[in-house]
Structure 1
Amino acid sequence: MKSDLRKQYLVFGGRSILSHTLAAFLTCPDVHRIFLVIPEADEAYCRDHILADFPDDCAIVDLVSGGVERQESVYNGLEAAMGLADIVAIHDGVRPFVQPDLITRCLAGAKAYGACVPGVPAVDTLKTVDNDITIEKTLDRRKVWCAQTPQAFRYDLIWAAHESARSAGVVETDDAALLERLGRPVRMIPGSRYNLKITTPEDLALASAVLALAASRKNRTKS
Structure 2
Amino acid sequence: MQSPNPKQYLFMNGKPVLVHTLLRLQKSSLIDEILLVVPEGDLFFVRESIAKPYRLTKIQNIIAGGKERQDSVRNGLAEIGDQCDVVVVHDGVRPFVTEEMLSRVIGAALQFGAAVAGVPVTDTVKEVPGDGYISRTLNRETLWLAQTPQAFQRRILQKAYRKAAEDDFHGTDDASLVEHLGTPVKMIRGDYRNIKITTPDDLVLAEAFLREDEGERFLSSSCPEY
**Pairwise same-fold verdict (TM > 0.5):** yes
What's 1:2 paired with? 2
- CA distance in structure 1 between the partners assigned to 2:2 and 2:15 by the alignment: 19
Residues in 1 aligned to 2:107 and 2:51: alpha-carbon distance in whole angstroms: 27
Rounded to whole Å, the distance in 2 between the matches of 1:143 and 1:69 is 29
Question: What is the CA distance between 1:218 and its match in structure 2?
Answer: 2.4
Pair 84,64 (structure 1): closer, same or farther in 2 beyond 3 Å: farther
For 1:51, the equivalent position in structure 2 comes to 51
Instruction: Assess if the C-alpha contact under 8 Å between 2:37 and 2:72 holds in 1.
Output: yes
In 1: Cα distance, 2:185 partner to 2:58 partner: 32
2:162 corresponds in structure 1 to 163
Counterpart CA distance in 1 for 2:183 and 2:58 is 35
Offset at residue 117 of structure 1 (A): 0.5
Provide the C-alpha distance between the structure 2 equivalents of 1:137 and 1:59, rounded to a whole number of angstroms. 47
Q: Is the 8 A contact 2:178 2:184 kept in 1?
A: yes
Per-residue CA distance 1:88-129 (angstroms, 9 max, x = gap): 000111101111221122111100000010111111011110
TM-score normalised over the length of structure 2: 0.94
C-alpha RMSD of matched pairs (Å): 1.2
- Which structure 2 residue ranges, 5 or more long, are not aligned? none
Q: Give the Å deviation of 1:59.
A: 5.3
Name the SS for the 2:135 alignment partner. Answer: strand
Instruction: Check the 8 A contact 1:85/1:155 in 2, yes or no.
Output: yes
Percentage identity across aligned positions? Answer: 41
2:36–2:59 CA contact under 8 A, matched in 1: no
Secondary structure class of the residue paired with 1:73: helix
User: Are 1:85 and 2:79 counterparts?
Assistant: no
Other-structure match for 1:74:
73
The reply to whether residue 132 of structure 1 matches residue 131 of structure 2 is: yes
Give, in whole Å, the separation in 1 of the partners of 2:131 and 2:167.
Answer: 31
Question: What are the within-5 Å matches in structure 2 for residues 1-223 of structure 1?
Answer: 1-55=1-55, 57-58=56-57, 60-222=59-221, 223=223
Amino acid at match of 1:165: A
Contact conserved, 1:28 with 1:104, CA < 8 A, in 2? no
For residues 75 and 82 of structure 1, the distance between their equivalents in structure 2, rounded to whole angstroms, comes to 14
Q: Label 1:165 to 1:46 Cα distance change in 2 as closer, same or farther (>3 A).
A: same
Gaps in structure 1 of 5+ consecutive residues: none
How many pairs does the alignment contain?
Answer: 222
Aligned residue identity for 1:14: G
Any conservation in 2 of the 1:32–1:60 contact (CA below 8 Å)?
no
Q: Secondary structure at the match of 1:123?
A: coil
- Amino acid in the other structure paired with 2:31: V
SS at 1:212 equivalent: helix
TM-score, normalised to structure 1's length? 0.96
Distance 2:122 2:203 in 1: 22
Q: Tell me how far apart the structure 2 counterparts of residues 129 and 216 of structure 1 sit (CA, whole Å).
A: 42
Q: State the 1:185 CA deviation.
A: 0.5
* 1:43 partner amino acid: L
| Partner Cα separation in structure 1 for residue 89 and residue 58 of structure 2 | 19
**Counterpart code for 1:151:** Q
1:53 shift after superposition = 3.6
